[in-house]
Chains A and B, each alone.
Chain A
Amino acid sequence: MSENKTTKAVGDSATAVKDRPLLEVEGLTKHFPIYGGFPFKRQVGAVQAVEGVTLDVFPGESLGLVGESGCGKSTTGRMLTRLLEPTGGTIKYEGRDITHANRRELAPIRSEIQMIFQDPYASLNPRQTVGKIISGPMEINDINPPGGREARVRELLETVGLNPEHYNRFPHEFSGGQRQRIGVARALALEPKLIIADEPVSALDVSIQAQVVNLLQELQRERGIAFVFIAHDLSIVRHFSQRVAVMYLGKLVEIADRDTLYSGPRHPYTHALLSAVPETDIDVQKRERIRLVGDVPSPIMPPSGCRFRTRCWKAQDKCATEEPPLVQLSGNKAGHLTACHFPEDPTIDVGARKEDVVMDPALRSLEKDAKKS
């Protein structure tokens, strides 16, 4: 099974990929209880934020985790860093089960898994100087680098492209992009093996996004740090990740290496996401458009069977009754797993289908009107 569900990181990364995964996640589930009722509060339901996510992260690779807002990406990331207690499933780090490890048990590996946050304004303590912020993790873990912590902090500031003289400044004196760099420096302070980056650039100006992504990419290549790169936007992940996992409403629907996923998505949802990515290369063939209609269903009452079926143009009865397993479909490369009963053809060329897929009847009639006039 495990050969079946993972793939080696491929692509242009110079990092050596070992066979044993750094992080093994199996059936990871998170339900947030909902309390209600009168006069006594009791649990009346649960937000099924993450449901049975299974994936591996290999040393030095970058795994992209994409999906629409609210599909449980952050929740997954927070469980991986053990900020949230998983409801079910297991997380193994270097073979050790850390699913329910407490703070003391986690101490030895705390320095190896770090996180970069989305909001550069909330992720730095406004009352601490940059030096204090970055040296904090070293202090907590009692790490004394040769030359002292201050020298190390200055070195880190330089690594992330900031002036080492900013050591004594406060966060409010920096711009968003600079703050995010400080956050990166803090994550690097413990020389981690794995960094969970939860939408690290989505709060930044577009012009700065690329710079921060480049910085992360440099770090990943030079230091061999594995990344779980969370984003809701496939174009940034394409730039950064060797493997991409697609989530929908708490579930993993497709996972594959980058080129396979971008050139031949099998899950309709992946396909739809891809068709929403704006074309950056002019010479790329025009892709068909797929517009998803409606909102993501509530994770409190997710649809039965395949969770995507309510918005899927291929949905049939089977999709409502039977949940599609995440497996390697025939014709797929090893490590390309898809959870779909009626997968797409592995192509995104226009030639494969004559018409655009437009889901909304209203939209369709609008388009007809537009053509007529």
Chain B
Amino acid sequence: MTSPVQTEDTSVPGGNGPDALTKDGAQETKTQEGLSPGQLMWRRFRRDRTGIISACVVIFFFAIALLAPLISKVYGKDPYTLYGQNSLDLLNEFNMPAGSFGGASGSYWFGIEPNLGRDVFTQLLYGMRTSIFTALGATVLIVVVGVLIGLVGGYFGGTIDYWLGRFTDLMLGFPSQLFMIASMPVITAAFVAPDENTPTWLRAGAIIAVVGGLGWMGIARLMRAATLTMREREFVEAAKISGASPWRIIRKELLPNLWSPILVQATLQLPNTVLNVAFLSFVGVGFVEPTPDWGRMFANGADYIQLDPWYMLYPGVAMVIFVVAFNLLGDSVRDAFDPKSGR
């Protein structure tokens, strides 16, 4: 396990191996044999307390989103039933939650929604589920498109790179939030006849397309720069000399070396995308009733902020924790991958 043992077994009988005995930096850094760069990164990450805590928080959020149906079954409520309308003592005469703290109680943990009287806890559960999964889809799209365009531009260079670069600039030039708002109805209208209801999956698809289509440019630029430095490396040339196809070089030589920036960018991108998806719902072009949605809870909450600030509290706090934890996680992942950068 220790260096001296390793240096011994590197000198092979018959070979002129004494150079194995001369030590250099490579021998000092290794702690155990056979550690891949990925394993080394994992070791560094494990030592980072902030990273571990924020990873736990993030995993917790994902677990909640994933297990929302199970939790609500155990909890015994769903996000659609108008509890406040069914039992009269939950809402007061102004249709606001009757109890204190937004009507929070043992059976309605986070209280009751004003007006409609739905259960806030399950609404938040399912709302997060919708938002996080939509954002996940959009992030995957962003990363895939960004990585592909960056890699292709960076690797092939020349005219391809030039035009991909101009296209990226053009997309960056769009005021993306305005454009998102403007393009959402257009996209849904393209697929759905005016007199029909838009199915939820189509809305989700449209949101993913719009948020993804307007969000890949940053990653593309980053990937292009990373690829540019990588493709000059001699191991890429060695692969070329053996006759590897460009596609194989991108897949087998470049991509494995770009996983770290990709992962870092993806972790930093996801909270942004959650915010973007929430933003769309907030301004009313995202998910619509009755689909529970995180962003729309803010929109509704804003209507009642004077009378029932509690309704806004839970989704708000959840969102803040989620975004902060995710950003901290992104930083930790970056530090683990590249110990030299940062503090």
Contacts and interface: CB of A to CB of B under 8 A. Distances in A.
Interface of A: 78, 81-83, 103, 106-107, 110-111, 113-115, 117-119, 122-129, 133, 136-137, 140-141, 158, 160-163, 165-166, 168-170, 172-178, 183, 186, 190, 205, 207-208, 211-212, 214-215
A125 B231 CA distance: 11
A141 B248 CA distance: 12
A208 B19 contact: yes
Contacts of B241: 81-83, 110, 113-115
16 contacts: A82-B241, A83-B237, A83-B241, A117-B234, A122-B233, A128-B256, A133-B235, A136-B239, A141-B243, A162-B17, A172-B30, A174-B26, A175-B19, A175-B22, A178-B20, A214-B16
A113 B9 CA distance: 32
A140 B20 CA distance: 30
Contact of B33 (A127, A169, A176): A169
Interface of B: 9-10, 12, 14-20, 22-24, 26-27, 29-30, 33-37, 233-235, 237-245, 248, 252-253, 256-257, 259
Given A123-B238, A125-B257, A169-B33, A175 B24 contact: yes
A123 B234 CA distance: 4
A81 B36 CA distance: 31
A183 B235 CA distance: 9
B22 A140 contact: no
A83 B240 contact: yes
Nearest to A169: B34
A123 B15 contact: no
A207 B44 CA distance: 35
Nearest to A126: B37
B287 to A, nearest CB: 40
Contact of A126 (B242, B243, B257): B257
A166 B234 contact: no
B12 A122 contact: no
Nearest to B248: A140
Contacts of A133: 235
A140 B239 contact: yes
Nearest to B35: A170
Nearest to B23: A175
Contacts of A119: 234
